């Protein structure tokens, strides 16, 4: 056979073999992705032999399309792009942009739709309404109700990369771990992207102006016990001579907002609402002593607008969230028991004063704050259309740049341990100093095995349960009925809500 004929035959044979093996790849000459939806081993579109593997060949994640709808809460920004056009230095908007940019490196063709939602009871009601109407978003930002919503099947387990899971602060996990499978192992149903806790916030300027000084040191008085807080507050109201200035201001807004503020006092004294197994334990000596103190601190029987003004000590207790923060910003009080946040220089925050004297329940040996509040948890809902992409978004919220951003401009404590550790050695001395303060607050959360916020075992008539506590607080601050009587009445009413 002539040489040119041999070459031709060999060439044709090679071309034939190439065409056969080409059918085993994931792409044909037209560039489409091979899909075998009926598991017959061949591509639905071109009939290419997929090697008998069957199934759908997963597309590259960079080619996935669609939209993730995310309910966000303050201080996240819904229209961050608009905010940046109006003010390129908007720190919260810049942090949101960093989250989106990081996510887009993984899923460039998936759109993110942010919808702002209010905190507290309003958010919970919106979640329950969406769950009942089949209109849940893909991701929800919430604070304290993750486990209850997981029990109801609203939230699903978050398959977070172990790299992140192993770095999450244990202090931030009290409200997000739940044994959904009943196998004894708790899984992650919400990812804390920042945390915080209740603290003693101090209005340094107001205290210095009125010479409220520690009798032992002569410096600005930072109360370390409940008795000291009560005395320092009374001194301020007397020295200021201003009826609009209170010694201590606390947000007692109806619903979970007020419950959070009271729970930290209860826990400091060994009290609580429930025992973790659905049993109400409100009627206790610890709670009676605690609310004897709260009544003395905040006053009772005399109303003044939206606040309760005590004739004896002129302490303030606001029942409206907006008016509370407005009053604090306008220097209406020397001390505030609230979230450890804000300007560390003008309003430094410290661990809470501890129970003492007549207010201390001797059966409890703890005393420090252990209530996580102001924490933002991101959870994936049962209706999520792309769990992998939703998880990637949550992981973008845990990036070092984002975690540091929220701390620097919002005083939200990072939940990734390495980020927090890095802040303590930050070249900016102010960042380093405030990070040290954050770690002090986290140490205070170690009491009671890192318990988080409100009880997660109120499984029935949730709204009615907290309404009973609202009635109790109203009576505590507006009547002279003995505290022990009010505590017993509230206990019985709470029990009834769980017995139905």
Token pair recorded at residue 72:
């966000």
The yes-or-no verdict on residue 305 having pLDDT over 80 is no
Task: Give the model's pLDDT for residue 238.
Answer: 85
Give backbone dihedrals phi and psi of 371, rounded to 5 degrees, phi first. Answer: -110, 110
Closest CA to 197 of 418, 438, 379, 455: 438
Q: Give residue-wise pLDDT tens across range 420-459.
A: 888 888 888 878 877 777 777 777 766 555 566 777 788 8
Q: Give residue-wise pLDDT tens across range 88-122.
A: 988 889 999 999 999 999 999 999 999 998 877 78
**Residue owning tokens 């601050």:** 477
Q: Give residue-wise pLDDT tens across range 21-47.
A: 344 344 444 455 555 555 555 566 655
The percent of residues above 70 in pLDDT, for the chain, comes to 80
- Work out whether the CA dihedral 384, 387, 392, 398 comes out positive or negative: positive
The yes-or-no verdict on residue 478 having pLDDT over 70 is yes
Cβ neighbours for 452, distance < 8 A, ≥ 6 positions apart: 144, 173, 174, 175, 176, 371, 372, 375
Count other Cβ atoms within 10 Å, centred on residue 78.
17
Cβ neighbours for 177, distance < 8 A, ≥ 6 positions apart: 147, 186, 187, 188, 189
CATH architecture assigned to 62-196+375-435:
3-Layer(aba) Sandwich (3.40)
Closest CA to 482 of 315, 314, 300, 313: 300
More confident: 286 or 351? 286
| 376-381 and 139-142 strand pairing | antiparallel
Q: Give residue-wise pLDDT tens across range 362-420.
A: 988 877 766 666 688 999 999 999 999 999 999 999 999 999 888 887 778 888 989 88
Domain boundaries, the chain: 24-57, 62-196+375-435, 198-369+460-499
CATH architecture assigned to 198-369+460-499:
3-Layer(aba) Sandwich (3.40)
Q: Which segment of 143-152, 156-165, 451-460 scores lowest on mean pLDDT? A: 451-460
């Amino acid at each position: 056979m002539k040489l040119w004929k041999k070459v031709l035959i060999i060439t044709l044979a090679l071309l034939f073999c190439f065409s056969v093996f080409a059918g085993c790849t994931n792409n044909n000459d037209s560039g489409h992705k091979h899909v075998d939806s009926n598991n017959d081993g061949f591509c639905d579109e071109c009939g290419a032999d997929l090697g008998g593997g069957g199934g759908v060949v997963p597309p590259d994640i960079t080619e996935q399309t669609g939209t993730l709808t995310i309910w966000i809460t303050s201080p996240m920004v819904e229209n961050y792009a608009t905010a940046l056009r109006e003010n390129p230095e908007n720190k919260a908007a810049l942090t949101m942009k960093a989250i989106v940019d990081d996510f887009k490196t993984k899923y460039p063709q998936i759109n993110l739709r942010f919808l702002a939602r209010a905190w507290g009871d309003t958010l919970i009601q919106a979640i329950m309404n969406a769950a009942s109407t089949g209109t849940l978003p893909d991701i929800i930002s919430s604070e304290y109700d993750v486990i209850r919503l997981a029990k109801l099947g609203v939230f699903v387990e978050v398959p977070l990369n172990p790299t992140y899971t192993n770095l999450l602060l244990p202090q931030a996990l009290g409200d997000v771990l739940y044994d959904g499978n009943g196998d004894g192992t708790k899984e992650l149903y919400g990812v804390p992207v920042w945390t915080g806790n209740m603290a003693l916030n101090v209005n340094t300027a107001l205290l210095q102006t009125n010479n409220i000084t520690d009798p032992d040191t002569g410096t600005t008085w930072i109360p370390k016990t409940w008795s000291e807080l009560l005395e320092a507050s009374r001194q301020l109201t007397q020295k200021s001579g201003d009826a609009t200035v209170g010694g201590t201001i606390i947000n007692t807004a109806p619903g979970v907002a007020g419950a959070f503020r009271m729970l930290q006092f209860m826990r400091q004294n060994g009290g609580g609402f429930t025992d973790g197994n659905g049993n109400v334990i409100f009627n206790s000596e610890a709670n009676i002593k605690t609310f004897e103190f709260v009544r003395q601190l905040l006053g009772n029987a005399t109303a003044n607008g939206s606040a309760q003004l005590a004739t004896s000590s002129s302490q303030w207790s606001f029942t409206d969230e907006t008016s509370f923060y407005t009053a604090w910003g306008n220097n209406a009080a020397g001390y505030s028991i609230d979230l450890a946040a804000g300007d560390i220089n003008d309003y430094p925050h410290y661990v809470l004063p501890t129970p003492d004297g007549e207010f201390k329940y001797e059966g409890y040996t703890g005393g420090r704050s252990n209530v996580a509040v102001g924490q933002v948890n991101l959870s994936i809902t049962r209706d999520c259309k792309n769990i992998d992409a939703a998880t990637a978004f949550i992981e973008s919220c845990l990036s070092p740049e984002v975690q540091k951003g929220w701390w620097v401009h919002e005083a939200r404590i990072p939940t990734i341990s390495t980020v927090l550790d890095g802040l303590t050695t930050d070249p900016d001395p102010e960042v380093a100093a405030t990070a040290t303060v954050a770690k002090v607050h986290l140490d205070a959360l170690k009491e009671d095995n890192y318990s988080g916020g409100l009880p997660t075992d109120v499984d029935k008539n949730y709204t009615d349960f907290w309404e009973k506590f609202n009635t109790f607080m109203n009576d505590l601050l507006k009547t002279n009925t003995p505290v022990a009587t009010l505590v017993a009445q509230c206990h019985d009413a709470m029990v009834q809500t769980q017995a139905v």
